[in-house]
Structures are given as C-alpha cells and as structure tokens.
Amino acid sequence: MSTVRTPKRKIARRTSGAGSRRSSLSSTGGSAAQRKRRRRSSNKWNVKPNDPDAAHHELGTNVHTTQAPLSKSALKKKYSSSMLTDIDLDHEAQQLLGYPAGKWDAIVESLEHIRAVATAQPTDIVGHEELVFKALMHCIPNSRSAIPRHALNTMNVVLGGAGKFFEASEADAATREKVAGLLHLLLKTSATHDKKFIKAAATRCVTAAVGVAQGKQQFATLFTVPAVLQHRNRNMIAAGVSGYQKCVEQCTAKDLAAWDTVQFAEALHRVFTARSSNARSSSRAIGRFAREKLDIDTVQQLKSLLLPKKEITANDIETIFKAKRQSARKKFTRPRPWAKRR
C-alpha cells in the first residue's frame, strides 16, 4: 500500500534542505568561489607561517606578489611620463641580479618598473636588451611562483621591442649564444615547469620571440640543436619541434627561398628523427609548406639531400613533401550557383 505525502511534509522537506545549505554557506563564509575571490583580492602576503622573513614582507604595501601583473592600461595609469623618465633600466636590471631570492617585494617592484617602460616607451629598451634579458633570466628559476610569473610577463613585453637585438644575433656569435641560452630557458620552462600558468607564460614568450625573429634561419636552427632535440625530457623535444615549425610557417616565400638548402635539410632531418610524438606530423607540415612556397628544383634538392641520411627512407621523404590530400566531398562538390567566383 503506497503512502501519499501531505503538503506539510513536502514543505518541511524543501525548507530543511535549503535551510541547511544556506546555514552551511553562512557558517563557512560564502561559497568556495567567493572565498577564492576574496583571497585573490586581499592585500595580504601569501607566506608560510614559519617563514623567518614573514614580518618583513608584511610591511610591503606598494606591490603585492600574490596578485597578477598589472595590465597595460593599468601600468599607463600608474606610471606617468615623468616617472618613466626617472627609471634607469640598467640600474633596475643590476638590482634584480643582486637581490637575494627571498626579497620578493623589491624583485616584483623592479620587474614592474621594467615592464612599465617597455609598455609605454618600447624604444627606450633598445641598447639595454642584453642586461635586461640577463636579469629576467635570473628571476625565472625562482622557487616562488609569483616571481617567474612577473618575469615572464615582463619578458613578453620586452621581446616586442627587441627586433634589433635578434638581428644583431645573426651576425654576432656572442649575441647568438645569449639568444640561444634565453630560448633554451624558455623552452625548458614551458615544457618542464610544474605550474600550468608558468608554462603558458613561457610558451607565450617563445611565440613572441618567433614573431620578432621574422623567419631568420639562424634563429630557427636554435630549436633543432642537440641540447633541445636530444634532451631527456620528451616535452622539451616536442616544444623544440613545434618551435621550428612555427619559425618555418612564419616565413614568406621570399624569405624561405633565401634559406640555405643544406642547413634546411639537416634541420628537417633532425626534426623527423626526434623522439617526440609530434615529430612526424610537424615534419610533414614543414614539407607541405616548403612544397607550396618553394619551386620544384629546390624541393628536389631537399629530397636529394635527405635521401642518404640515416633513419629516413625514400618513402618517408615522399610522405614529407606530399601535397595535402583534399577530401572527396570537397573535391567533387559542384559550386553553389550563388557563390561568388574568384
């Protein structure tokens, strides 16, 4: 025999559940999302209670390392033109190199000064790139995640005005070694760091560096050196393969035709034989791009240079430079009568 609930019992059941939920939220101080927002917006330092420098860090009121770096518009509002002229980039970089790892407030303040100058007056960075990059590279391996976050965001802005520095690396061997060290650190951070937002910031820096290099072959080969493609970490190898593909796809037909064919074939062979999951797919993408941008004689020369190399066969070479197959549906579909003809 089934029982019928009375309206009184239904109301009591609903109110008891909702009331208990409201009471639990009020007792805990709101939902988890609200508590998280309050933690993010608070001005307190996120330090451990047993930190001996906790009392010193609590005194900082100008910069808060728990917060994300300021946006470009916020930097322009905070720093006037007169304040920017008073900032000495070399002095700020030297301070970053001299600060101990635990002096977080001063490190973040110097990083913010460099980022403000690079945002509002990017031409002032010219001539100071080497020292600024050295200081930023010094801050990236910091154990406190807020410091590399600020350093990588600052480097992303500084890279936007470092075109002449990358052009100088094409002719100067010493500058090229410094660019190689910078790129290796960014690739390692983007591939092996345990924090997801740090990896994303380092990947954005690599993309910015590829855009600034503008299809330079000497810069592109830095992604295929043994220190990258023979690294023990597979994620590092995959990052190098993807970086070389981005450099090739950044080129125009004129820039790619100016590349040295022998170096291009050697780099493509290193990408194809790399021990990563994206090696074969990236090499095919590079080969299709070269087939579209280069003439037939240059493509045949690349094939002949790849043929005697180890761990690659004639069928592999044909697969690399094979044109992208068009699907049967797109190939045999009649054009619509209202479609515009180009």
Q: Provide the H-helix boundaries in 121-195.
A: 129-139, 146-159, 163-171, 173-192
Closest CA to 63 of 133, 136, 150, 141: 150
Question: Residue for token digits 């061997």?
Answer: 173
Query: How does pLDDT run across 108-128, given as a tens digit for each residue?
Result: 899 999 999 998 888 888 889
Q: How many CA atoms lie within 13 A of 304 on its CB side?
A: 7
Per-residue pLDDT of 53-109, as tens digits, reads: 555 554 444 555 566 788 878 888 888 888 888 999 999 999 999 988 778 888 989
Terminal-residue alpha carbon distance, the chain: 77
Domain boundaries, the chain: 65-213
Q: What is the pLDDT of residues 259-281, one digit of tens each?
A: 999 999 999 999 999 999 999 99
Residues 214, 206 contacting (CB under 8 angstroms): no
pLDDT for the residue 336: 62
pTM: 0.75
Q: What topology is assigned to 65-213 in CATH?
A: Transcription Elongation Factor S-II; Chain A (1.20.930)
